[in-house]
Amino acid sequence: MKFENFLTSRILNYQRYKNSVSSPIIKISIISIVIAVTVINFSLSIGFGIQNEIINNFKYISGDYYVSDYKNENFSTFFPINNDEIASELFISKNIEYVNKVTYTPGIIPIQSNFKDIVFKGIENKNLDLINTFTIDENFNEIGLNEIIISKNLSEKLQFKVEDKIKFLFFKDESSIPIVRKLKVVGLYNSNISEFDSRVVFGNIDQSISINKWNKDNFGALEIFLDNNDKKNIDFIFNSIPSTLDIQKSSERFPEIFSWINLFDTNIYLIIVLMIVVGGINMITALLVTVLDKAKLIGTLKVLGANNNSITKIFMINGLYLIFKGVVVGNIISLGLLLIQKQFLIFELDPSIYYSDYVPIEIAPIKIISFNLLVIFISMLMLLIPSKAISKIKPNSILKLS
């Protein structure tokens, strides 16, 4: 065993060292590293967990890409697309998971002396797996021509329940005479996306075609769900869609929401930087106090022939041990709590703000290990600052005072 390692182990195991003046400072420094690692792991797992939960929710309900006429808006498709405009290869590509034909038809529900504006989203029965991700109590193999699935939000607000029949009014081409439909509620959904839940009802696309008086070859828009997001898929989509149609990513269709999501990155990394700085400053304090507390030992070692580099190594190894101890304890505490939340969903969120009704956890081992190593590396760099005090200690002065 090298001299530095041997002496470090003797210092760490020396009982009087554990009860010395520097002991409380050392304990506080270890606790600060524990807190720093815990907060970093929480920030990474919760921050990216919420991000991915929101992105996945938007993907399931609106697709990765949205194809529509340029004149259409987000929640209306008055200008249809014809089947012949889309390359047939798009519908059978192995690189694409789903291609949904949909329509968005705005309307109103008359309620006593008032009304509620809604959007009827017509969907194909072949891809109901996506809607079943959000349905409550049961999954659906098909939605009948005169059937709808409404959100839990609308159900509670308008006092509608399953089996109720709801009267809808749709207006075509600014006509003062509405198109009336009476549709039966067959199920409820909850996507936690307030922009959808507060207004969108799902129904059969054939009902939408009937309301809009289109022929069977027409539909309002395409929602494309990629199997993965590589460049080949993106090129394939653009090659299959004519330039007369608009192609939007989810982030382009809902820019405000995705801009808000991107703010999470800034907040996460800001918290990480602050935690590393706080932990590093506490380690500087701990090592400086330890050096001052061990001034007599340093003086003795210098008299015996030890140079400044050798003594610095002793205290740096001592600091590394304390940092490593804090990192290990911090990981045990934080990962334990994160796994409990991931399994039991103890802590809840307000879905109207966070688009999720619980705190989602995404434990990314590579990110956690990377930032753990970053904490250790930066803390060790910061320990070089107080280690310079060792070279300032003069053995004759220290030993004379003792």
Residue 135 is predicted with a pLDDT of: 95
pLDDT-above-70 percentage for the chain? 91
Residue 232 is predicted with a pLDDT of: 58
Question: At residue 12, does pLDDT exceed 80?
Answer: no
Mean pLDDT for 219-247 is 83
Question: pLDDT category, 398, cuts 50, 70, 90?
Answer: low
50-59, 160-169, 202-211, 360-369: least confidently modelled range: 50-59
Can you give the residue ranges of every domain in the chain? 3-58+258-401, 71-243
Mean pLDDT for 117-126 is 94
- The residues near 10 (Cβ < 8 Å, ≥ 6 apart) are none
Question: At residue 233, does pLDDT exceed 70?
Answer: no
Q: What is 225-281 written as a DSSP string?
A: EESS--HHHHHHHHHHS-TTEEEEEHHHHSHHHHHHHHHHHHHHHHHHHHHHHHHHH
Q: What is the pLDDT of residues 302-339, one digit of tens each?
A: 887 888 888 888 888 888 888 999 999 999 999 999 99
Question: pLDDT category, 300, cuts 50, 70, 90?
Answer: confident
Residue 229 is predicted with a pLDDT of: 58
Residue 174 is predicted with a pLDDT of: 66
149-158, 285-294, 347-356, 377-386: least confidently modelled range: 285-294
Q: What is the pLDDT of residues 25-38, one digit of tens each?
A: 888 888 999 999 99
Per the structure block, which two tokens stand in for 309? 């580099």
Maximum Cα interatomic distance, the chain, rounded to a whole number of Å = 104
Mean pLDDT for 180-186 is 96
Residue 47 is predicted with a pLDDT of: 93
Residue 307 is predicted with a pLDDT of: 85
Mean pLDDT for 120-146 is 92
Q: At 284, which helix (H) or strand (E)?
A: helix 255-293
Mean pLDDT across the chain? 88
Residue 226 is predicted with a pLDDT of: 86
Site of tokens 């970053």: 374
- DSSP alpha helix (H) spans, 63-184: 89-92, 129-132, 152-158
Phi and psi (nearest 5°) for 168? -115, 145
Cβ 324 vs Cβ 7: under 8 Å? no
Residue 234 is predicted with a pLDDT of: 74
Question: At residue 231, does pLDDT exceed 70?
Answer: no
Whole-structure pTM value: 0.85
Site of tokens 């182990």: 9
For the chain, how are helix, strand and coil distributed in percent, rounded to 5? Answer: 55, 20, 25
Question: At residue 19, does pLDDT exceed 70?
Answer: no
- Of 366, 359, 324, 369, the C-alpha closest to 338 is 359
Q: What is the pLDDT of residues 51-89, one digit of tens each?
A: 999 888 888 888 999 999 999 998 999 999 999 999 888
Residue 116 is predicted with a pLDDT of: 93
Question: At residue 140, does pLDDT exceed 90?
Answer: yes
Residue 227 is predicted with a pLDDT of: 78
- Give the span between the Cα atoms of 261 and 47, in whole angstroms: 10
Mean pLDDT for 349-353 is 86
Question: pLDDT category, 230, cuts 50, 70, 90?
Answer: low
